[in-house]
Amino acid sequence: MSYQPINAEKIKELMVGEPERFFYQLNGGGYLNLQKLDLEDVEGINFEMMQKYTKIIRAMIFATLENSQNGHPGGSSSKVEQWLALTLTGLLAFDPLNPKNPGRDRLVWSAGHCTPLLYAGQALYYEVLRRTGRQFSQAVTKNVFFEDLARFRRIDGLSGHAESSIPYNDFSSGPSGHGFSVGGGMALVHKSCGLDTSVFVLMGDAESEEGMTYEARNMLASSGADNLIVSLDYNRFGLDGEIKEVISSDYVSHWLSLNWNVIEVDGHNIKELYYAYRLAKEKVFNNSLPIVVIAHTVKGKDYGPLENSELSHGKILSHEEYISVQNKLGFDISGEKDNAFVDLENILKTLTEEDEKYVLKILDLGVQKILPENKLVEKIKSKLSGRPFFSAINLKRPEQLPAELIFEPGSSVSTRQAFGAFAKWLMQNSAFVYAGAGDLSSSIMTSEAEKIYGIISAKNPYGRGLRFGIAENNMSMMMSGMAADILPGGFRPITVFGTYGVFLNMGVNSIRLSTINNAVHKENSGFFIAVSSHDGLDTGEDGPTHQGLDNLSIFKSMPGIKVFKPNDANETVEMLFYALENGDPIVLSLARPSFQVLKRESENQAKQACLGAYVFQDYKSNKKKKAILVVSGMKNLLNTQEVAIKLEKDGYATKLVVATSPELFAELLQNNPEKAEKIISEEERDIAITINNGYPEFLSEFLSGENLSQRMIGIKNYLKSGTMEEVYEYAGLSASGLYSKIKNILENYL
């Protein structure tokens, strides 16, 4: 049978004859448009009175910016009604006198630059609480009063971007889109523990241009995160111009077609916003999907000549324009420059006793929404019956390790296999461990932990595994951010996640943001293990795209996180237990190949890996000439052992020091120099040679003295595809290659 080919003319005929071929029905989540709908009044909420507060808050925002002469007026002023509809209607379960109450709803400012609103909004509430004589709990450590606004963006004042130590904010954010992933992660934690907490994310429309928000939208719609509510400020402008210059397709489709529920509202109509948030909390669509409330707003609302333009994003009005704006809002201000305190004081003088009573009454409604902590703990235990109710961060190394975490010397085991065994043990010993990977779970062995309770989904809400797909940025932000929360009962979630080392670099900024969050809010400091697997040249066949050379150095330079690079399976287990006990997050470098587990001179040598370095082979002679070799990477160690034999024959007393974490060794050197000296003395560091199967300067902490760069052996160039042996040979890191390099250094630079 023959077929007549379809040509262009016949296609045109089809458009007339069979138009259904050219139509696609959009499939996605639920949709509701509340704009201009005649909505009933709500008992107890005075929407007309709340319009007064929109003016007060905007006036406080503008006074703050006038004083600081920098900041972000556009997004702050466009979100005022969203703030009030969320925080002053009794919807948000929140206690401003105990803002970190573990039973509260969570609020994440993904639009972390909109701090003028975050500070001005709560300054209004705290002024009312202060006037009405409320006693402030010691838990309120950084509540914001109006006088604090005068120190906005000053070294001893309020930060320019949102920090989680501040009430009404649960993660330190700023970079676009990152807070969205964190909020999604927190929502999954709470739902997977059987809690009814809602997690709200305040987000700007231009943030959805960020690639990680696409990654997050996909994953969250597939995970049953129906307790996540995104309030999206759709003001149509970014910093450079209109977002249609980037997103020219229908904006709602960017959410609806990714299987999100969508509610559209007028973002300056508090009643519409209230109904949208309430319906979202009540899960009106009943389909286990997250909800985005798209609030149509005006960027820079009421900000004079900059209103409704990209210029309002970060530009500040002239002093004369500022006075005009405040007058139009109905406030008489001093008119003097550098007088923010007086301006703010005058703005708040417009609050009447009736206002104070009303604000106090509504804030109390939010407090009443928080259930007693013991009831919440009972709920968690009921939903997770049979699991060990113990925070993994409090787990200690057993005096006698379980059999599955002991690896026989001489057996062939990879460090990634040892990690998989540890992650499985961790999952079995705590109900609050989460594991995930960037579409590589079976390769980096997070799958061993994921199998215990399964993957989180609408059908398996109490799982502990997460599927991210090829989305390293969202994975890194979501998983590291999840660890920053504290659940009722003081239970702390911890996360283990990862990908190949060369791909983990795509999550660098996400991990950096979590370390910042840990630094600025130590009470909520989170622990996570970011796995950098298949590190180094050992993945030779995949070529330079997969041969990690410098990825560990990126993390090594980051405060608040340490790089651990164990050499064998037993070191891996010991270093992981040490990380738990120490409490700081780590990047864990793992190798793909299975090497023989080291036969050690002492049983405690594997534990010595937790010092950052240890003597693997001490001098075997008293020869005058010495060779001190500091080695990182198992294949390097095996090759260097061969080199040491040759050097002994050449008349060198040779010492091998294994490096497992330059940062840990640097700490040892500072805190216990006597112990560090026993590993490698100051005199030895003057003549030591470092050998790393990656960037040479990774081991720089082990050197001092002269000719430093000449004494670092590593790789600075991209390599080629080949077997592991071939690639090490090509890189000059085979036994013969190392011998030549080391002899050259010994003879010419030492």
pLDDT tens digits, 590-613: 999 999 999 887 767 899 999 999
Placement of tokens 């010092």 in the chain: 611
pLDDT (0 to 100) of residue 137: 67
pLDDT (0 to 100) of residue 734: 96
Other CB atoms closer than 10 Å to residue 385's CB: what's the count?
11
Residue 236 to residue 206: CA distance in whole angstroms: 8
pLDDT (0 to 100) of residue 3: 59
Average pLDDT score over residue span 302-312: 93
pLDDT (0 to 100) of residue 143: 83
pLDDT reading at 435 higher than 60: yes
pLDDT (0 to 100) of residue 535: 83
Helices and strands: H and E segment counts in the chain: 27, 19
Per-residue confidence band for 141, with pLDDT thresholds at 50, 70 and 90 = low
Q: Are strands 528-533 and 562-564 parallel, antiparallel or unpaired?
A: unpaired
Topology of the domain covering 612-748: Rossmann fold (3.40.50)
- pTM over the 0.85 mark: yes
pLDDT (0 to 100) of residue 140: 52
Other CB atoms closer than 10 Å to residue 24's CB: what's the count?
7
- Average pLDDT taken over every residue of the chain: 93
Q: Are 455 and 439 in contact (CB under 8 A)?
A: no
**Over the range 301-322, which residues count as b (16 or more CB within 10 Å of their CB) and which as e?**
bbbbebbbbbbbbbbbbeeebb
Per residue in 153-170, pLDDT (tens digit) is: 998 889 999 999 999 999
pLDDT (0 to 100) of residue 364: 97
Topology of the domain covering 31-39+47-370: Rossmann fold (3.40.50)
Domain with CATH 3.40.50.970 in the chain: 31-39+47-370, 392-596
pLDDT (0 to 100) of residue 417: 97
pLDDT reading at 477 higher than 70: yes
pLDDT (0 to 100) of residue 539: 82
CATH of segment(s) 392-596: 3.40.50.970
Burial (CB count <10 Å: 0-12, 13-18, 19+), residue 449? buried
- Between 98 and 542, name the one with better pLDDT: 98
Residue 376 to residue 373: CA distance in whole angstroms: 5
Per residue in 323-374, pLDDT (tens digit) is: 999 999 999 886 677 677 788 999 999 999 999 999 999 999 999 999 999 9
Domain with CATH 3.40.50.920 in the chain: 612-748
Per residue in 644-665, pLDDT (tens digit) is: 999 999 999 999 999 999 999 9
Per residue in 191-237, pLDDT (tens digit) is: 999 999 999 999 999 999 999 999 999 999 999 999 999 999 999 98
- Percentage of the residues of the chain whose pLDDT score is greater than 70: 98
The token pair at 83 is: 């703030």
Average pLDDT score over residue span 62-70: 93
Q: Are 166 and 114 in contact (CB under 8 A)?
A: no
pLDDT (0 to 100) of residue 339: 76
Average pLDDT score over residue span 455-465: 97
pLDDT reading at 176 higher than 70: yes
Q: What is the dihedral of CA 10, 16, 18, 21, to 10 degrees?
A: 80
Per residue in 522-563, pLDDT (tens digit) is: 888 999 999 999 888 888 788 888 887 777 888 998 999 999
pLDDT (0 to 100) of residue 120: 97
